[in-house]
Structure 1
Amino acid sequence: MKVQFYKYIENLQDIITSKLEEIDGAANFKEDLWKRKEGGGGRTRVIENGAVFEKGGVNISKVFGELPEALRKQFGVKEGNFFACGLSLVLHPINPFVPTVHANWRYFEMYDDKGNIVTQWFGGGQDLTPYYLFDEDAVHFHTVCKNACDKHDLEFYPKFKKTCDEYFWNTHRNEARGIGGLFFDYLKETPKYSIKERFNFVTEIGDSFLESYLPIVNNRKNISFTKEHKNWQEIRRGRYVEFNLVHDRGTLFGLKTNGRIESILMSLPPTVQWHYNHVPEKDSEEEKLIKILANPKEWVS
């Protein structure tokens, strides 16, 4: 399974970066291969200063070896070896009317002292962070997510949408990071689902990503914007940074497993603002977004 899933994310990285370069039209991804001294490594691809994308990364990695102390405590074991691989992407567009997007699909195994698998699971999801809210974009993104889920189980979309709303929540701000999407973790083999069926589901979600995001980019990338629009985008990017550094499990996992710091923190946008006690103007488009972020919405039924 680990070989099969790693081959899948290698190919998916190629597909996604190729399509993103095509839609940007000016910048290409720079590739950076790296190795982890304890075992494993990755292939980082970053795009910067393009016509559409100010900064973005589409990274794959696989790490393995002895469980770090932080993970031994988390899993309640004295020793053990592990394998983890995944694809993680974040795209920060130039235009404030184009949303930031994040996605991640990953697989994990843990072994006993004889090398037998004692636990294995999939995790991942994708979520959208707009700066100016277009209801039709939110509906489109969630519809694609729902359609991919419904091919496997009608209970998946409402369950994983709710989990996403709860996970991408900036508790110290009492607001959502964005308008959500899907988030799932610890998808193990059960009497109802084999590990192969879990693989089929996660790859279905990964395959649906471009359909969920690229039409939105195409519809919004040429909208004219002002310095005020850009300021608002950068203020909201500050909340994005806060979540990733304070709450995000993926960031913390990378740091605890001695991951490559440049790849872990590629999710951070290049320009950000923090204003003291910033409050948007009443009845503005900015306030409209804030109200939605305070009360996550059901975009599709």
Structure 2
Amino acid sequence: MPYRVAVRSFKTLSYIGSYKKMRDRPLAFYCAAILGAGYAAYSQHKQNKAEMKEIIQLKNYMAEPITPISELEKNQDDMKTQMELLIMRIQAEFCRALEKEEDEESKFKVDRWKRKEGGGGITCVLQDGRVFEKAGVNISVVSGILPPPAVQQMKTRGKNFENKELPFFAAGVSAVIHPRNPMVPTIHFNYRYFEVQDKNEVHWWFGGGTDLTPYYLNEEDAVHFHRTLKQACDEHDPTYYDKFKKWCDDYFFISHRGERRGVGGIFFDDVDYPDQQSAFKFVTSCAEAVIPSYIPLVQKHADAGYGYHERQWQLLRRGRYVEFNLIYDRGTKFGLHTPGARYESILMSLPLNAKWEYMHDPKPNSPEEKLMKVLKEPRDWLNVQQAKSTST
């Protein structure tokens, strides 16, 4: 009897022990999972902070960011942060690429400025270089209240804002490069991000573009330029290039002259599709396409021969550039309407020298007339429309 009791007691205790193991196992597993997930999240947080610190290296930029670094690190997923870091990187990379084409002593003057109403900018200007007569690359990160003229300008573009005073944020990079040699074209690019708060809703959109203004037409250059931009567009949507190329031809039109400013490129505004991150990636690709679209043209023509006649034609065409920027350009008008705007930076796009002649007409069949024909009738440089017709 005692033997049977002992055996039964042993079995009971074994069962209880097994049950406790089974009961405790899910709890232990659950605790381990929580600890593991917490550790993974902490590790990812540390990695993100390390990556952000690597991104925000002052040596990578022309000057210190406009927004305090601590705020950028804290708000690394905010589009305002992402855009500020993008435009600062693009500014630095482009300035350094231009300096490589210049003599050793020709460097950008870096002017970091603040705006008392909120934000500031970094203006980089190189003047009187051997290759570049004037090169300006500006970034601005500003915020505040939109003044009525700026609100009205946006309403004319279909923005249906209700409030009269609208808090806004704007960040953008803008550059205009005026070379010394008339055989080297001028390039302009601008990429920007806007946020406007109307009541409790935040409206956001991107805008920008890159365009080329030659003084003497080189068809190979135009094809290379447009092909590079098309490749950037095609990474995101095969319809973008054709649509934004036409928009560019229409936008950079000097209506009182009946001619375009140059051979075009791409231009877009009010892009809030398909979603914020996708739109940002598209803008990033376009901005990164500037150097490969332009620097090869500088290297190709910087030492080409020219004389007094070509220089005078270059100055006349720069006069047209001034007319467009002061009369039609949206960015210039927005800047001039913004309280506390920095006019030196806004007018940075103007050339160092320009010229106007009364009733000037190029001679028939001259290289100058060849350019004018293209400025009056934009060309499909990549035969996109012909390819469309063939496929249909």
TM-score (normalised: structure 2)? 0.74
The alpha-carbon deviation at position 37 of structure 1 amounts to 1.8
Q: Which residue of 2 aligns with 1:22?
A: 100
Residues of 1 paired with 2:82 and 2:357: CA distance?
47
Indicate if the aligned counterparts of 1:99 and 1:128 stay in contact, CA closer than 8 A: yes
The alpha-carbon deviation at position 117 of structure 1 amounts to 4.7
Indicate if the aligned counterparts of 1:109 and 1:117 stay in contact, CA closer than 8 A: no
Alignment of 1:212-251 (within 5 A): 212-251=293-332
| 1:99 equivalenced with 2:99 (yes/no) | no
Q: Which residue of 1 aligns with 2:348?
A: 266
SS at structure 2 position matched to 1:234? helix
The alpha-carbon deviation at position 118 of structure 1 amounts to 2.1
SS at structure 2 position matched to 1:172? coil
After superposing the two structures, state which structure 1 stretch, 219-228 or 20-29, moved more.
20-29
What is the aligned counterpart of 2:379 among 282, 297, 300?
Answer: 297
C-alpha distance after superposition, 1:61-100 (max 9, x if no partner): 0110111121233444322200001000000000000001
Residues of 2 paired with 1:117 and 1:205: CA distance?
28
C-alpha distance after superposition, 1:9-39 (max 9, x if no partner): 1111111111110111241000011111211
Say how many residue pairs are matched. Answer: 296
Residues of 2 paired with 1:183 and 1:273: CA distance?
27
| 1:35 equivalenced with 2:114 (yes/no) | yes
What is the aligned counterpart of 1:87 among 162, 167, 173?
Answer: 173
SS at structure 2 position matched to 1:224? coil
C-alpha distance after superposition, 1:38-58 (max 9, x if no partner): 111100000011110000101
**Residues 187 and 282 (structure 1 numbering): CA distance in 2 closer, same or farther, change over 3 Å?**
same
**Residues 117 and 46 (structure 1 numbering): CA distance in 2 closer, same or farther, change over 3 Å?**
farther
The structure with the largest alpha-carbon Rg is 2
Indicate if the aligned counterparts of 1:93 and 1:100 stay in contact, CA closer than 8 A: yes
What is the aligned counterpart of 1:210 among 291, 294, 297?
Answer: 291
| 1:199 equivalenced with 2:303 (yes/no) | no
Alignment of 1:99-178 (within 5 A): 99-113=185-199, 116-178=200-262
After superposing the two structures, state which structure 1 stretch, 136-145 or 64-73, moved more.
64-73
What is the aligned counterpart of 1:63 among 130, 137, 142?
Answer: 142
The unaligned stretches of length 5 or more in structure 1 are: none
> Which has the higher relative contact order, 1 or 2, with Cα contacts under 8 A spaced 6 or more apart?
1
Letter in 2 for 1:216: L
Letter in 1 for 2:210: Q
| 1:8 equivalenced with 2:94 (yes/no) | no
The alpha-carbon deviation at position 223 of structure 1 amounts to 0.4
Larger fraction in strand = 1
SS at structure 1 position matched to 2:188? strand
| Percent identity over paired residues | 52
The alpha-carbon deviation at position 112 of structure 1 amounts to 3.6
C-alpha distance after superposition, 1:98-118 (max 9, x if no partner): 0011000000001145xx552
| 1:78 equivalenced with 2:160 (yes/no) | no
Indicate if the aligned counterparts of 1:67 and 1:80 stay in contact, CA closer than 8 A: yes
SS at structure 1 position matched to 2:352? coil
The unaligned stretches of length 5 or more in structure 2 are: 1-78, 156-160, 385-392
* RMSD, matched Cα: 1.0
Residues of 2 paired with 1:117 and 1:12: CA distance?
30
Q: Which residue of 2 aligns with 1:275?
A: 357
SS at structure 1 position matched to 2:291? helix
Q: Which residue of 1 aligns with 2:338?
A: 257
| 1:47 equivalenced with 2:47 (yes/no) | no
Residues of 1 paired with 2:81 and 2:109: CA distance?
25
TM-score (normalised: structure 1)? 0.96
Residues of 1 paired with 2:329 and 2:198: CA distance?
28
